[in-house]
Structure 1
Amino acid sequence: MAGPIQTEMEETLRAAFAPARLDVINDSAAHHGHSGDDGSGESHFTILIESAAFEGKSRLERQRMVNRALGDIPGERVHALAIRAALPGELG
């Protein structure tokens, strides 16, 4: 079951990018007891997102778009965020 931060990220990214694919994966359990683990169970995530909104953008620009859309979540409410942002069909 998705926690409140994961749910917020999913809703925010769907609204911002109308993605063809969106997977927000909670990796927090693998980092339990490590740096950045705040005990919330929502400290580390991987985002896989495919959207036409990334057309003509570099990998870095795509990641920045996702980070901007998420506002204060990356770095403030989530310790680590891995982002793979691609055009529809690119992630396989």
Structure 2
Amino acid sequence: MALFAADHDLDKRFAALARQFDDLREALAKRGDAYYEDGREAASDYYSQLAERLHETLPAIRRRGRTLERIARDHPATAAAVGLVAVGLLAGLLISRR
């Protein structure tokens, strides 16, 4: 009979621990949802700011690109030399890192 009482007591304790575990899991889920929502809102704000800035600077970037294209078309040898120098610098940086 004492063994049955001990088993019953263990069952009660186990049930209580299971309830506490469920409560903790729910609390963690709520916190996780809140953190996820905060992170999502922050990312959305950063994206909106970046899109705004990009939209404002895109015309200037396009103008400079057209200017560079015109210069490269007018002076192909100079453009090729600048390209080779840039490739050489990049290769030198990559090699020096090893």
TM-score tier by shorter-chain length is: under 0.3
Higher strand share: 1
- TM-score normalised per structure 2: 0.19
Point out which structure has higher relative CO (alpha carbons under 8 A, 6+ apart). Answer: 1
- TM-score normalised per structure 1: 0.20
Larger Rg, first or second structure (1 or 2): 2
Higher helix share: 2
